[in-house]
Structure 1
Amino acid sequence: MEDIEDLLAGDGGVAPGFRLPVTSVGLNPKKKPMKSNLSVVQHPLQSIRIPGTQTIYIKTFGCSHNQSDSEYMAGQLSAYGYTLTDFPEEADLWLINTCTVKAPSQSAMDTLISKGKGANKPLVVAGCVPQGSRNIKELEGVSIVGVQQIDRVVEVVEETLKGHEVRLLNRKTLPALDLPKVRKNKFVEILPINVGCLGACTYCKTKHARGHLGSYTVDSLVQRVKTVIADGVREIWLSSEDTGAYGRDVGVNLPILLNAMIAELPSTGSTMLRVGMTNPPYILEHLKEIAEVLCHPSVYSFLHVPVQSGSNAVLTGMKREYTVEEFRIVVDTLTKLVPGMQIATDIICGFPGETDDDFSQTVELIKEYKFAQVHISQFYPRPGTPAARMKKVPSAIVKKRSRELTAVFESFTPYNGMEGLVERIWITDIAADGTHLVGHTKGYIQVLVNAPESLLGSSATVRITSVGRWSVFGEVIQVLSYNAQDRTLNKDELSCSRFSPSGVSDESCACSKDPDSCCSAAKCADTSEVPINSNQGKDDQNFDGPWKRNSLTFKASENTKFQEPNPEEQSGKARARASMAQWNIIDKSLVAGIFLSFLIAVACFSQLWARKVMSS
């Protein structure tokens, strides 16, 4: 089928989520109606499906940029009235957002499309696969929406539910950042700052889909930051195909954007900024400026910088536009200038032409830096890319190299020595075991704590109690900010945040504002505020650069509880003032009412007694 053009008159478009008439969207019916000589009278309401009342299942593959696109599409569908579900069998339509980076991701997409067709589910396929490979057979008979047409997903879904096949693939202006959005994690905003890239990597299929670099303006991104902070977001992830290339098409650069964003972050440190993946060529000239940003107390001291290979010969074949020596400059400079700096990287094993010596250089690079996070992939030829036509390394050798490098990487113990350290963390998620909450240090090390879900969205200081390969465990000492409020908890609120050693909220003390009602005031945590920049960088230097994988492969060693301050630190007068502070207007009214009732009872008793005396 031909690609469908945007046929709106004047190319002016309509408001996101506005339902267009059928003639405004290019479409083909899936089935032609059968001719009949019979005259059929149909009830006016028969077979009518009310738009916006169906249930939609959304499945996302791939990177954080894809996740953001799915959240925007979910927001528009929800705003229009559609119900979202996590259960595909309950849905009236499936929306599949695809990734073309690796063969396994596309294979998983193919399997899901086949299941949907087998279940007679209307299908809409979005993302990089249809945009970059629109004519593959797996996409026959399904509707597709391109990466720059996500603001029209409501139209596509609506027409698909009517039985039409719709294709919107034309590239146009970037989708607006203020579209409705349903975040997978309400505390995390994934903010795309640009689409596409300036590179021409021989193995990459993503550029076929995302295209050349297109950057959002600084003003539009800063406005989005303001909006999501007001919504209570605690982490802002900057996302793109190459963050470091931001702005080169519009006359600005990444440091300019980052400094503008930092100016809008709360001074309490309640919302953190995480800079996304950047390739080495585009930050070499800005290393000092980037380092200054990463030192800011409201920016994670973490950066994802892919190297892909430790061999310059392989990098040349990949057309990566940098050398191993330049990658080292990036890592060494940031590690030197940013206290506690953590760097993650990527490796591709078995790229065409990779020799044993090339691979040995990669292994030595990883051993030298002992990166705590390395994404290791086997080379997958992607159709239409130059690398797909190169002579391949035998698959058995590729698998062997991947296993060898993985074994080297997993032999590192990056968190050793962290036991006993006190760190500030930002808590934004629930761990895979359903028991622990997930927080991150300023170096973006994953810390798991036994705590009630009420602490989600909070910042806290924790003491590290045990370490593992992918994460560390900690006990909460003090809660610094709570949910959507940018401030330190007071003593009354902290008594409501207290939890038992088992990690489950202590019901007898969960909501009391009077410390003496369930525990002595001496057992409630000290709430003196810890300065945001209190030697955070110095503390981070006490361990060797770990980032982590979101995986639970080991057992917590200790239960968590709040630290108990010395009872002598609280005088009798202080406890009296704390007790009197609990007397609000309702309490006073109740006491007055009880006293008044007592007076009325006394008066009634006196009157009865007087009558009895007079009658006698």
Structure 2
Amino acid sequence: MDDLDDIEDAFGMGGEDDVRVLRDLPPQVGTHQNTKAYNLAKHEAADAMKDSKGTCPGEQILPGKQSIWVKTFGCAHNVSDSEYMAGQLQAYGYQLVDESADADLWLVNTCTVKNPSQDAMSTVLKTGKENGKALLVAGCVPQGEKGAKDLDGLSVIGVTQIDRVVEAVEETLKGHTVHMLQKKALPRLDLPKVRRNKLVEVLPLSTGCLGACTYCKTKHARGELGSYDPETLVERVKTAVADGVTEIWMSSEDTGAYGRDIGTSLADLLGRILAVLPEDGRCMLRLGMTNPPFMLEQLGAISAAMRHPCVFSYLHVPVQAASDKVLDAMNREYTVKQFHHVADALLASVPDFQLATDIICGFPGETEEDFDQTMELVRKYKFAHLHISQFYPRPGTPAARMKRVPTKAVKARSRKLSLLSAEWDPYRGMVGSIQRVWISDTAADGHHLVGRTKNYVQVLVPPAEGLMGTSVQFEITGASRWSVRGVVLGPWAIPDSAAAPPPGTSTWPAQSYGRQPAGETTVGSATVGSSSNGCGASTCCQVPGAAEGVATSDSVTADVSDGGCGSSTCCQTEPVAQRSADSRCSGEAAVGQPVHADIDGVVGSSILHGKTPQPEQEGGLQALHQVSSGSWMLRDWLLPMGIVVGLFGMLLASLQILSS
């Protein structure tokens, strides 16, 4: 399931909120033909109403003259669906309102992932009935739970029927009950659309998934994977850029699975999209949630994309549990070791990378020992974004038939994990740095604008005229657990390469990752940073947060793109003391012998375990690898140049001896 933090980021905490549409916001119409078609249909409907004999259960109404309130629960994909439905309704003439009391009809787009979301939906529907509102229910609940009691007597529309929302609304307002749940081809992406945030394009790559997690009902609603063709998605990106958006969120139930049903891949799509984004970085791309199995197959391409100046260095990779036994019961199709491999590779190869993950506490069969393993994984990575859920049995899922962990124990584990997550201060090391910040929203407190750094850290920006929708040079002066704050120094200008690092390169101090406080003993290190701020040591590179000057005794080189340090011996992905035994490079790689994580064209599976890299999926990688081709060329001539310099030094020394 696509990351629920999408909604927390966009709408505030809680996982759901209204699709806010300003009354004066013009519809984002995909084609003029669509608008003409809606106008023609509207006039035909009006003519038909003139001849009506009053057979409708309710009073005669003129379609397109009523007001509608849209409520959205769930993930970014649901937000996109709501935006498309709102766009069609507005293009037809309906008025979209912010206040539910002002609306003639409530359009409620639902989520079936978690019980709390469904409980909140039930409350909204009950309130609507009590206030005499016409109700139309969309989304995953009516599609996946056709017998839900909350839906008795209500109009419903399925996830692939959103292009018929005008018809559904019209019939519901007449007093009819409609059921549009038949599954069909994917809705077109060139339909009229009203963005909740005019600066953010939520781009659905596909619907459905290839997994079969035992606890999830999303597949009941969204079905098997259905991907949009790359050309359609690229055209949608071009339209969004022309509309002036500054962020494009790639969304689906599993972004990494994109294209497997149509003979393409996420790697190929990334190459195509990056080729059409503005080179000045005014429009940033954010990848949605990607499960570990598909990350393993495309790790090199995704890592390269994360280093691109037009891509946020942030990714949501849900682990759910750190026990292989529990993962097997969940049918998650990966091991804990594989998650470590993905996480460590990204952290080693992408400067200032931020990793988000999900944990389910109290899954059936989870023991205290299993939970302790999850606690250890969280201690290791110190996730800045950790989404904790207590297990809720979803009716109709295999997990609902499994023996449950006592509720008291589930709550205790959730509380324990929350307290652990609150112990660290992930952004303290950013204080004093200067960052490029993209400003695209307003904070819930009403006193700040909201921006994002290259690695998607939330920035509270003092409001000022003309800042919204721009990127600025920003000095960070303070940090909290969830965000940073500071002052705007001026508009962002693409720096001269001789005077400043390239766009998107952070000046974030090394200890910002919080792996280990400076000054503590460690037996290993790693570089995270570009060639301009890497250590360039001849012996070792420091892990973020590790004490400076500590020599390493075992190592793995993370010499990838411009995130490598150029070490002649080793770089390690994190302090040895904090790594699990199976993630240390022993056996296959002798101490001091680099195991290169060549992301250029291979998976890079040797980063941690010394395994033989497997060829990555072909196609779409050339554009991504061009991002780092310069640094690979640099590495290619560094060694012979070093040899020449060394021989020259020996010659000078010999001449000096002879002259003396």
TM-score scaled by structure 1?
0.74
Amino acid at match of 2:242: A
Secondary structure at the aligned position of 2:410 is classed as: helix
Mapping for residues 437-448 of structure 1, pairs under 5 Å: 437-448=449-460
> Which residue pairs with 1:153 in the alignment?
165
- 8 Å contact 1:443–1:540 — kept in the other structure? no
Amino acid at match of 1:371: F
> Which residue pairs with 2:130 in the alignment?
118
Partner Cα distance (1:435, 1:529) in 2: 36
> Which residue pairs with 1:542 in the alignment?
510
Partner Cα distance (2:509, 2:225) in 1: 36
Q: Deviations over 1:346-381 (max 9, x none)?
A: 000000000000000000000011011100000010
Q: Deviations over 1:86-112 (max 9, x none)?
A: 111110000000000000100110111
Mapping for residues 461-540 of structure 1, pairs under 5 Å: 461-480=473-492, 534=502, 536-537=504-505, 539-540=507-508
Judged with a 3 Å threshold, the aligned counterparts in structure 2 of structure 1 residues 211 and 469 are, in CA distance, closer, same or farther, namely: same
Amino acid at match of 2:281: G
Residue 380 in 1 paired to residue 348 in 2? no
Alignment match of 1:259 (pick from 268, 271, 281): 271
Residue 294 in 1 paired to residue 336 in 2? no
Secondary structure at the aligned position of 2:429 is classed as: coil
Residue 345 in 1 paired to residue 357 in 2? yes
Aligned residues: 470
Partner Cα distance (1:532, 1:72) in 2: 42
Mapping for residues 99-114 of structure 1, pairs under 5 Å: 99-114=111-126
Partner Cα distance (1:428, 1:442) in 2: 13
Amino acid at match of 1:163: G
Partner Cα distance (2:224, 2:449) in 1: 39
Judged with a 3 Å threshold, the aligned counterparts in structure 2 of structure 1 residues 533 and 231 are, in CA distance, closer, same or farther, namely: farther
Judged with a 3 Å threshold, the aligned counterparts in structure 2 of structure 1 residues 340 and 91 are, in CA distance, closer, same or farther, namely: same
Partner Cα distance (1:76, 1:535) in 2: 38
> Which residue pairs with 1:334 in the alignment?
346
Q: Deviations over 1:417-468 (max 9, x none)?
A: 2111000010000111111111111000111111225211000110101111
Residue 136 in 1 paired to residue 148 in 2? yes
Q: Deviations over 1:6-65 (max 9, x none)?
A: xxxxxxxx967846879x9xxxxxx997xxxxxxxxxxxx95311101000110000010
Deviation at 1:406, TM superposition (A): 0.3
> Which residue pairs with 2:616 in the alignment?
none
> Which residue pairs with 1:175 in the alignment?
187
> Which residue pairs with 2:402 in the alignment?
390
> Which residue pairs with 1:325 in the alignment?
337
Residue 370 in 1 paired to residue 382 in 2? yes
- 8 Å contact 2:38–2:91 — kept in the other structure? no
Deviation at 1:533, TM superposition (A): 6.0
- 8 Å contact 2:448–2:460 — kept in the other structure? yes
Q: Deviations over 1:203-240 (max 9, x none)?
A: 00111000000000000000000000000000000000
> Which residue pairs with 2:68 in the alignment?
56
Q: Deviations over 1:512-548 (max 9, x none)?
A: xxxxxxxxxxxxxxx99999962743524635359xx
Residue 82 in 1 paired to residue 94 in 2? yes
Partner Cα distance (1:177, 1:431) in 2: 29
Partner Cα distance (1:286, 1:116) in 2: 46
Partner Cα distance (1:538, 1:528) in 2: 15
Partner Cα distance (1:103, 1:78) in 2: 32
Partner Cα distance (2:241, 2:45) in 1: 37
Residue 190 in 1 paired to residue 202 in 2? yes
Deviation at 1:480, TM superposition (A): 2.6
Secondary structure at the aligned position of 1:447 is classed as: strand
- 8 Å contact 1:339–1:541 — kept in the other structure? no
Partner Cα distance (2:499, 2:179) in 1: 54
Q: Deviations over 1:548-598 (max 9, x none)?
A: xxxxxxxxxxxxxxxxxxxxxxxxxxxxxxxxxxxxxxxxxxxxxxxxxxx
- 8 Å contact 2:205–2:255 — kept in the other structure? yes
Amino acid at match of 2:510: N
Secondary structure at the aligned position of 1:539 is classed as: coil
Partner Cα distance (2:504, 2:171) in 1: 54
Partner Cα distance (1:530, 1:458) in 2: 25
Amino acid at match of 1:111: T
Q: CA RMSD in A?
A: 2.3
Judged with a 3 Å threshold, the aligned counterparts in structure 2 of structure 1 residues 288 and 47 are, in CA distance, closer, same or farther, namely: closer
Partner Cα distance (1:273, 1:535) in 2: 14
Judged with a 3 Å threshold, the aligned counterparts in structure 2 of structure 1 residues 475 and 63 are, in CA distance, closer, same or farther, namely: same
Amino acid at match of 1:152: R
Residue 354 in 1 paired to residue 387 in 2? no
Residue 459 in 1 paired to residue 471 in 2? yes
Deviation at 1:270, TM superposition (A): 0.3
Judged with a 3 Å threshold, the aligned counterparts in structure 2 of structure 1 residues 246 and 543 are, in CA distance, closer, same or farther, namely: farther
> Which residue pairs with 1:164 in the alignment?
176
Partner Cα distance (1:325, 1:134) in 2: 39
Residue 275 in 1 paired to residue 303 in 2? no
- 8 Å contact 1:59–1:96 — kept in the other structure? yes
Deviation at 1:179, TM superposition (A): 0.8
Deviation at 1:281, TM superposition (A): 0.2
Amino acid at match of 1:537: T
Partner Cα distance (1:16, 1:199) in 2: 38
Unmatched runs of 5 consecutive residues or more in structure 1: 1-13, 25-30, 34-45, 482-487, 489-526, 547-616
Secondary structure at the aligned position of 1:181 is classed as: coil
Alignment match of 1:429 (pick from 441, 450, 462): 441
Judged with a 3 Å threshold, the aligned counterparts in structure 2 of structure 1 residues 254 and 32 are, in CA distance, closer, same or farther, namely: closer
Judged with a 3 Å threshold, the aligned counterparts in structure 2 of structure 1 residues 352 and 47 are, in CA distance, closer, same or farther, namely: closer
Secondary structure at the aligned position of 1:106 is classed as: helix
- 8 Å contact 1:418–1:542 — kept in the other structure? no
- 8 Å contact 1:372–1:545 — kept in the other structure? no
Judged with a 3 Å threshold, the aligned counterparts in structure 2 of structure 1 residues 540 and 210 are, in CA distance, closer, same or farther, namely: farther
Deviation at 1:289, TM superposition (A): 1.1
Amino acid at match of 1:210: R
Amino acid at match of 2:431: E
Alignment match of 1:205 (pick from 217, 224, 229): 217
- 8 Å contact 1:461–1:480 — kept in the other structure? yes
Partner Cα distance (2:226, 2:477) in 1: 46
> Which residue pairs with 2:234 in the alignment?
222
- 8 Å contact 1:145–1:153 — kept in the other structure? yes
Max Rg structure: 1
Amino acid at match of 2:353: M
Judged with a 3 Å threshold, the aligned counterparts in structure 2 of structure 1 residues 136 and 535 are, in CA distance, closer, same or farther, namely: closer
